Amino acid sequence: MPPSTNTVQGDLLQRVMDLLGDSFASTVSDPPGQGLRDFCGRHVVDGDARHRRDAGPTLARGAPAQREHRPPGAVLRDPTIGVYTTIVDHRDAARTMAEECLCFRVRRVSRALTRLYDEALRPMDIQATQLTVLNAASLLEEREAPMGALAEILAMDLTTLSRNLDPLEASGLLRRERSEADGRVRVVRLTVKGRKTLEEALPLWREAHDRVVSVLGPELAAELKLGFDAAVVAADAADEDREGGGE
C-alpha cells in the first residue's frame, strides 16, 4: 500500500527541518548540549550526536517526557451514562498531533526559514514577511493591487493584511487609496521608495535563497516548491467546497 499524502508531506518537511537544523544550528538559541528537537523528541542538533533518537517523546527541550503505561485503545465505562469512552490524555493527544500534523511542521519550517531571510535582509531594516507583501503588491500593480486580490495571493484575511500594510505605509514604501476605475475599491500602490527597496533587496534575498537551496539540495528544494504550491491549491479548493456546502 503506498504511503498516504500526509505521511509523504510529513516526512518531506521533517527532512527539511533536519537539514536546516544541521546547517543553521548557530541561529538557534538552545542551551549548550541541549540541542534542537523535532516534534517527536528526536534531536536535530546536539553537538556531535546528530539525529539521535530518544526513547520517549517530548515537545519541549530537555529530557524525554515520562509516560504512564496505557494500553492502546483503552476504554473506560462511564457508569453515569452507560457507554464506553476512549481514553486519550493530553500526552496521547500531543504525541498524535506531533507525529502526524502537517501544520506543525509547516509552521516550524516557516519560522526556521524566516529567521534566515530576516538575518540576510537586516542591512535594509526590512523583514522577510514585509518583503513578501511588497513583492505581491508589485506583481499585482498593473491592475492596481486591489486589497481583496492582495489578501488572496498572500493567503491572509483583510484584517491581517491591513495590519501588515500599516508599518509599510508608515515607512513610505506603499500607499492605500481608492481605485481610479472604481472608487468603491481600495488598492495598494508601491511608492518610488517601495520599488527601490525591492530592487535593492534582490541581492540579499538571492544570497539567502541560494544558501537554503545549497543546504536542502536542488531536488528537495524543487520538490518543496511543487508540494507547497499543490498544498495551497488543495486547501483553497477545500475552502471553496466547504463554503459551497460540498456541492
Q: What is the CATH number of the domain that holds 224?
A: 1.10.10.10
Quick check: is 18 in a domain? yes
CA neighbor of 111 nearest in space, from 29, 217, 48:
29
Q: Note the pLDDT of residue 92.
A: 83
Distance CA 106, CA 117 (A): 16
Model pTM above 0.75: no
Q: Are residues 221 and 137 in the same domain?
A: yes
User: Would the pLDDT of 100 be above 80?
Assistant: yes
Look up the domain containing 172 and give its range.
124-233
One domain for residues 94 and 128: no
pLDDT digits (tens, 9 = 90+) for 38-73: 444 444 443 333 334 343 443 333 444 444 444 444
146, 185 Cβ separation under 8 angstroms:
yes
Q: Determine, yes or no, domain membership for 110.
A: no
Q: Is residue 115 part of a domain?
A: no
Cell of 72: 492502546
- Tell me the pLDDT tens digit for each residue of 180-238: 888 888 999 999 999 999 999 999 999 999 999 999 999 999 999 999 889 888 888 88
In a domain, 169, yes or no: yes
Q: Tell me: do 134 and 207 sit in the same domain.
A: yes
**116 and 24 Cβ atoms separated by less than 8 Å:** yes
Higher per-residue confidence, 26 vs 241: 241
Q: Mind listing the pLDDT tens digit for each residue in 141-193?
A: 776 778 999 998 998 999 999 999 999 999 999 999 998 888 888 999 999 99
Q: Report the alpha-carbon distance of residue 163 to residue 173 in Å, rounded.
A: 15
CB 189 within 8 A of CB 197: no
Rounded percentage of the chain residues whose pLDDT exceeds 90: 38
pLDDT at residue number 141: 78
Phi, psi at 53, each rounded to 5°: -105, 125
Model confidence band, residue 20 (pLDDT cutoffs 50, 70, 90): low
pLDDT band at 97 (very low <50, low <70, confident <90, very high): confident
Q: In whole angstroms, how large is the CA radius of gyration of the chain? A: 23
Q: What is the 3-state secondary structure (H, E, C) of the chain?
A: CCCCHHHHHHHHHHHHHHHHHHHCHHHCCCCCCCCEECCCCCEEECCCCCCCCCCCCCCCCCCCCCCCCCCCCCEEEECCCCEEEECCCHHHHHHHHHHHCHHHHHHHHHHHHHHHHHHHHHHHCCCHHHHHHHHHHHHCHHHCCEHHHHHHHCCCCHHHHHHHHHHHHHCCCEEEEECCCCCCCEEEEECHHHHHHHHHHHHHHHHHHHHHHHHHCHHHHHHHHHHHHHHHHHHHHHHHHHHCCCC
Average pLDDT over the chain, rounded to an integer: 75
* pLDDT interval class at 245 (50, 70, 90): low
Task: Note whether 90 and 128 are same-domain residues.
Answer: no
pLDDT attached to residue 115: 94
Q: Does 196 map to a domain?
A: yes
Question: For the packed helices 90-100 and 5-23, what is the interaxial angle rounded to 10 degrees?
Answer: 80
pLDDT score, position 98: 83
